[in-house]
Structure 1
């Protein structure tokens, strides 16, 4: 029956599919088993990816309405690439918003209505000729992802309509196809009722952004396949149930043969049966199965041969299967009988050039990164991903929360306030079917992937009967998985929606309060550690809950990758753009930059902490042995080698290997022998690593997956004062201290050290000054640090030197500067410079606080050197930046890096590049000449080297706004506050990582020359 398409469908919740093929599994099928087992390309598919003819219209009224007709000539149209977003190919503009709907403030709308003026339309045309093998069979078309609603015509005839941007929409083209050239026309609308349900925290795009292909099927075809590979109560015996549903009711006798093969190709189960109608289920048991888990992702192969009445094979299907059992057991989520801990991350599909159109190479990089970082789980925030992603999670071993395409954040939360004066879908029956359809689309496509442990009812859509109905449908359809939904936190009347207590960005104390109250459900942090900019501080407070409370079962960091798009500035230079950079309004600006991976797929320094805190293996090295704690559920240590090293003051003394045999959920002490260190003073570090013995899919042999360290000091008995003649010249304005090869000048007028010259090389371009301000991080801005603590900004810009004193002793000279500040009369900062005979300068600082002032961001001295001093070598915690609340993943060692590479590439310039535990840092030119800063091992300092001052960083919204590089800015801190990360909109840094203003804080360090050859 012919259907006349209507634009009214776009705002009708009851019309979300017209002539769309019902959702089914994503299995592959072939003409014969040889092709199937070889994994050959499917010759019954024909890709329509590539160049399409395209016309863009800002609204429906201005579109070319008759473009789909056969006699309409589109040859003069532009070309556009499919798959791809319209807005990233020169049409319209991308827009980033978080919770609000993208039309907020532009037009007054309530669901299900959409604006006829603000609804971009993309008209696509593709002409194609069918391959010979597809001319006679039925013909279908599969759109893997179109945002957000679209109409399809073939040869001028209307084919169908669909919504749901993130699951396939397929149509039967058979009645409309013809020999020779065919004209396919697709009209894509950005706004629809579906758009009201897709208010995710992401860039707002539209278009055909996933692949499109034609496909045919054999005369007998398994349209839907369901593989259930389960375990008995001993978790050793498998049961396999395979249900096949044919496309059509067969007109002849049809049978199927099933074989289950292991990795070696050995048949572990063989069975066959005949269809009675369209459906057949084949079952069997398998003894001593190898189970699937993220630690040991063992996959079997299900081989199905479909035969007709003549006994010839008509179709062959190969489907991977993993035997695993996921269940709630004694109020704990368990995988194969063991309590699971999700060490997870939320992941958007994203590429900095192509948006959510990501490639196989992107996905391979991502899955390898997860495994290399000890991340064992991913939540598909907040929509189903491409099929390949689930296949990779099956193969590599990653647990998945598969999340349906639902988020209505802007309908109930406004500027952070829970305000459900209007909300969808809630209890409105008009939205029931369209929401349930999205659940069905996801489950029916993804049901055969063992990596998927949990179905999720979407994200941040409040609560209500509609979502509860979805949860109950999940349970009735698939009892092998649990159901997740976080939104019941806001309305406990619908608590039954979720099988686990799931919250976002709860503080560790709040989680403990829940866990200490004898709860009925285990706890899952579906989003935590908001990794915006310089963040992930205090993550250990969450991971420490894992062993303290069995019902705390881990969490998922927000999020995996910065959603930043490469754009050119006005001078043609590429930069990473965020919301607002495309003229998009309204926008939420840089809130899209929350990744532990940069948008160009390089690790951020935050990954150093994540990888360490997510380790399954804990290493505690001592002088006589290394304690290995294996927290894995199923994996031992047979695949790992234990390596350990001994360092003295950062210098490697030796490296050894040892055998380790630690069964899952056990710990062992591995004896070691180290060289004697008694009598040889220095700071010693024992470092232990577990590395891969052999190459894995995701990493090379020798890759380190776990690390541990311990440090001890052998004290020096006598420390002699450096020798050398000193001459003091006290002028009217300057105080000079001169020695062999060096001159140190102090200015009474400036109130600081103004020159440190070694063998004619000046080290000071701008004099040291007290610094109490850091360039605010995204988390600092979220807590309104500038508003509450802006006085420290002012105190850092201006001070009054109230006293300069000169003290001479045998072998040294000390000049002291005493500073006062306008923000409080009792606030004081004193810096004493002691010059020794060899040119070494000891710098002692004393901060004297005052009550009533806000916590300090930092207590430091900062000065400038010439940018010619562009190289750095550190003996400190590293190698990546670290802070007092994000240093667990850092290790003590010697690291080198160019100064320009030390600041991190966060979307918005901010404090970055800090190192804690600094014993020594050298700042030199390319010839190795420069300055060394050192501190006692027992009292190390924090240090930051950057081409920019804190104030230059503070006032730049993009890296291109920073000035050309003229200086190396050196900041030596006694203490800097942590970076925090519980959230980025108000969560403070945990108290133990702050700097109370009323305290007294002292620290010291030494300045000396490097590379001048004087010693």
Structure 2
């Protein structure tokens, strides 16, 4: 009889579960098999089930599985799906701590009996005709975290491991007519100690459930190896087949045909099963090799015959010929050093949690390919089978990671303390951990996209994980093995074939690489992309060409884990930890994606796409140098597009077909007009675009770009001519001319009015700005604590002097400011009014020693929110910062003010642009204000409906007020955003702003007229 004691028994992780096996598909005919699609011998049980929720085992409906128990009055639940996202319990987000920390005083393998929610599922099915008089099995592709199964009142089995299939034999329990299937799901079990990943804690049947049957002769397990010879040109194919119930299938045989992508047979082999096993080997000859750059797939068509020579089963398995190996201390694919340009990816949907759909996966694959991301680490559990099939087909390298993370058992608030770490060296944990490894490898072993097996994540180190690593090597020597945790205990260094660290600084990685290391290096997690982040990514990618043993990394992470929730007024927003009254929680630490939770791309992706480019373009007036860093792919299929711009306007363009083989470079000439006779700023864009549409992007989609700018000097423009009238009052200084008036206040200590005709442009006067709304990374280094005096300096300044000066054609009013942060800190802002109504603004900062670095040095002012249209001549189109500007390009672009701020989970600094030459801020009629900076000394600028303090004080976007202003912040310099990590890594020194220097910037305000 089933027992609740199994939930806390480390020795019981499955009862009556079938052995893990490959995820291949099988059909009755080869025509069906080659067509693919739904398997006739499967029957989905997805859909609406009856459901009862209990907060703990004692309050569950204990006898619900009995045939005479009526579940008809129960609620409905959708399968697949999470319990907590369908109205029961609550989702909980925690990172490293266990979700019961502080609520239950537990130690492994104990499980609370008072706070362990139970979901009781029931459905009925009638056996399809195709399954009559045949064995019947059931497959649960994913159930979190432990479950018991009954059919028609009979106990069927028990399983743990949330992320690999659990399958059971239903044959003894199936009957004619309706069959009652009952499943009891427990949120917590012994397995929960091994599933402490950085994610939302859900439970339930969240992946597909289906019945299946098998023919009389059936290949239960298939292992296809598609290798290359030592020249990396000739294919070597082997297929290991294991029959189900071999004694019942005497003289069974199989034929293997290998077909290329066009359907032509390129090799054939046959053989008879002996003892239920058959190994077929083929010398294929010269083959097309599989890689992410050219994911060429063959089809291994396997016909299985019974003893009478009749076709019993047809299997088609996609095959990619490739060799992945360690060669001269380098990881090599098909003989070439590989560089992983990767991301860590959770399965996640903002409405469905981890119960993601095919459409989600296709969107993700296209997004990876469109942004030059060539690799994914399945953090930190095996994904749905479909994901690997798509990676095979589209070309994505995969680190397949087993379902193991015990972070909270050895790291507490950042401190390493492994006194009760699991699995460690505890022999009683070996079998449950090894089962997870075996379940992953046996299911996923046929996918060419998987290059590396990973022993899990952040589980410290020890003998158990070392044994897992050795199992991977023995069972599948054609792949390498990864594990990061040995960094904490070098006694188990041989667990990982490569050195793998998390969030190491570039300098630390360089120190490792310079010390004649024994293993190549990858960053299994780096560039913590929380909120406004990914600054300094170039410092990592620059190591790729400098050190051959640096072989790339995987950004943390791909998608924000935020859930759709409604506020008290019924408006949807993206919620994070704590928003569901979940405690304990790690709040917004789930927002680390380069993709927003609603599957739109964040501005951070702009930098990732550029720095992950395989093609580097360096244009000049005569042509472009193209460096092709691809391993195998030339520029065939790509077209070169080049354009010449003059101060934001395209003046010439061209297109050329190019041929630059992999790992070579070439200079491609092109003809552009001579521009030496017209002063101003020019730039040349050169892009490689798709010549034809692919499955993941349309024709013309840009793969890579490069840009160069240059100035043609000219004579200085003469001063505008016209009358200027100056009125110096007791409180105010007024300057007026034809069609405009400017007012300066000695009392307010600033420009207070800039009026063009009847339009007042200044809603709130300009003031020196030192503070920005802290980013998540700023909070991680306690910026408000260490540099909060600059927040006070921004909010409380004192005008220490006003000076009026007049020269021919100009009037200047200067304000000097002092600050409580330090007696020697001074800022001078000088406004020079010209006869055409333009106002040049010059701001100078003089610092002092002993003060914290400045977040920024700028000037901020407000316009009416009616001015909500912007046009930029700057670096863009997406936000950029001094340490995240490589992927930006000089250009002109237009955005509404509401579109400039980024939608990070927690409001923070965003929307900045560097290299700003010009910004127009206009209303619906096209009238408004224009800001211009020198082409040689551009400024930084952001435009928002909110001040830094309003953003600082909001924990959610819905806490921000309704827009009343358009806030313009012009900066001579803003510090970078950083991203090495989000809990203590400062912005790199060269992207900080020392407080003891002198800074200056200038720009000009003028009337923007309708175009």
TM over 0.5: yes
Which residue in the other structure is 2:280 paired with?
A: 282
Unaligned runs of 5+ in 2: none
SS of the equivalent of 1:473 reads: helix
2:874 is the alignment partner of 1:860: no
In angstroms, what is the RMSD of aligned CA positions?
0.6
Write out per-residue CA displacement over residues 841-861 of structure 1, whole angstroms, 9 at most, x where no aligned residue.
000000010111100001000
SS of the equivalent of 1:607 reads: helix
Write out per-residue CA displacement over residues 569-612 of structure 1, whole angstroms, 9 at most, x where no aligned residue.
00100000000000000000000000000000000000000000
Q: How far 1:110 sits from its partner (Å)?
A: 0.3
2:221 is the alignment partner of 1:224: yes
2:263 is the alignment partner of 1:265: yes
SS of the equivalent of 1:643 reads: strand
2:130 is the alignment partner of 1:133: yes
Q: How far 1:89 sits from its partner (Å)?
A: 0.5
SS of the equivalent of 2:286 reads: coil
Which residue in the other structure is 2:115 paired with?
A: 118
Q: Which of 367, 385, 388 lines up with 2:383 in the alignment?
A: 385
Which residue in the other structure is 1:373 paired with?
A: 371
C-alpha distance in structure 2 between counterparts of 1:820 and 1:940, whole Å = 26
C-alpha distance in structure 1 between counterparts of 2:688 and 2:94, whole Å = 43
2:85 is the alignment partner of 1:88: yes
Write out per-residue CA displacement over residues 705-749 of structure 1, whole angstroms, 9 at most, x where no aligned residue.
000000000011232111121000111111000000000000000
C-alpha distance in structure 2 between counterparts of 1:558 and 1:98, whole Å = 13
2:776 is the alignment partner of 1:778: yes
C-alpha distance in structure 1 between counterparts of 2:377 and 2:924, whole Å = 46
Q: How far 1:250 sits from its partner (Å)?
A: 3.7
Q: Residues 14-413 of structure 1: matches in 2 within 5 Å?
A: 14-251=11-248, 252-413=250-411
SS of the equivalent of 1:736 reads: strand
Normalising by structure 2, report the TM-score.
1.00
C-alpha distance in structure 2 between counterparts of 1:933 and 1:269, whole Å = 69
Extract structure 1 runs of 4+ deviating beyond 4 A.
Answer: none
Q: Residues 574-613 of structure 1: matches in 2 within 5 Å?
A: 574-613=572-611
C-alpha distance in structure 1 between counterparts of 2:235 and 2:430, whole Å = 37
Q: How far 1:645 sits from its partner (Å)?
A: 0.2
SS of the equivalent of 1:287 reads: strand
C-alpha distance in structure 1 between counterparts of 2:758 and 2:416, whole Å = 65
Unaligned runs of 5+ in 1: none
C-alpha distance in structure 2 between counterparts of 1:109 and 1:756, whole Å = 67
2:454 is the alignment partner of 1:456: yes
Which residue in the other structure is 2:664 paired with?
A: 666
Normalising by structure 1, report the TM-score.
0.99
C-alpha distance in structure 2 between counterparts of 1:249 and 1:378, whole Å = 38
Q: Which of 493, 507, 513 lines up with 1:515 in the alignment?
A: 513
Q: Is the 8 A contact 2:925 2:1010 kept in 1?
A: no
Which residue in the other structure is 2:677 paired with?
A: 679
C-alpha distance in structure 2 between counterparts of 1:496 and 1:889, whole Å = 38
Write out per-residue CA displacement over residues 48-94 of structure 1, whole angstroms, 9 at most, x where no aligned residue.
00000000000000001000011111001001000000000000000
Total equivalences in the alignment? 1010
Q: Is the 8 A contact 1:759 1:1012 kept in 2?
A: no
Q: Residues 408-557 of structure 1: matches in 2 within 5 Å?
A: 408-557=406-555
C-alpha distance in structure 2 between counterparts of 1:970 and 1:718, whole Å = 28
Which residue in the other structure is 2:895 paired with?
A: 897
Q: How far 1:512 sits from its partner (Å)?
A: 0.2
Q: Is the 8 A contact 2:801 2:816 kept in 1?
A: yes
Which residue in the other structure is 1:950 paired with?
A: 948
C-alpha distance in structure 2 between counterparts of 1:64 and 1:994, whole Å = 61
C-alpha distance in structure 2 between counterparts of 1:565 and 1:281, whole Å = 48
2:728 is the alignment partner of 1:733: no
Which residue in the other structure is 2:9 paired with?
A: 12
C-alpha distance in structure 1 between counterparts of 2:240 and 2:17, whole Å = 23
Which residue in the other structure is 1:909 paired with?
A: 907
Which residue in the other structure is 1:959 paired with?
A: 957
C-alpha distance in structure 1 between counterparts of 2:3 and 2:913, whole Å = 62
Q: How far 1:1012 sits from its partner (Å)?
A: 6.2
SS of the equivalent of 2:172 reads: helix
C-alpha distance in structure 1 between counterparts of 2:198 and 2:363, whole Å = 23
Q: Residues 809-828 of structure 1: matches in 2 within 5 Å?
A: 809-828=807-826
Write out per-residue CA displacement over residues 937-960 of structure 1, whole angstroms, 9 at most, x where no aligned residue.
110000000000000000000000
Q: Is the 8 A contact 1:45 1:214 kept in 2?
A: yes
Write out per-residue CA displacement over residues 432-484 of structure 1, whole angstroms, 9 at most, x where no aligned residue.
00000000000000000000000000000000000000000000000000000
Q: Is the 8 A contact 1:220 1:250 kept in 2?
A: no
C-alpha distance in structure 2 between counterparts of 1:659 and 1:202, whole Å = 46
Q: How far 1:309 sits from its partner (Å)?
A: 2.0
C-alpha distance in structure 2 between counterparts of 1:224 and 1:392, whole Å = 21
C-alpha distance in structure 2 between counterparts of 1:676 and 1:324, whole Å = 49
Q: How far 1:40 sits from its partner (Å)?
A: 3.4
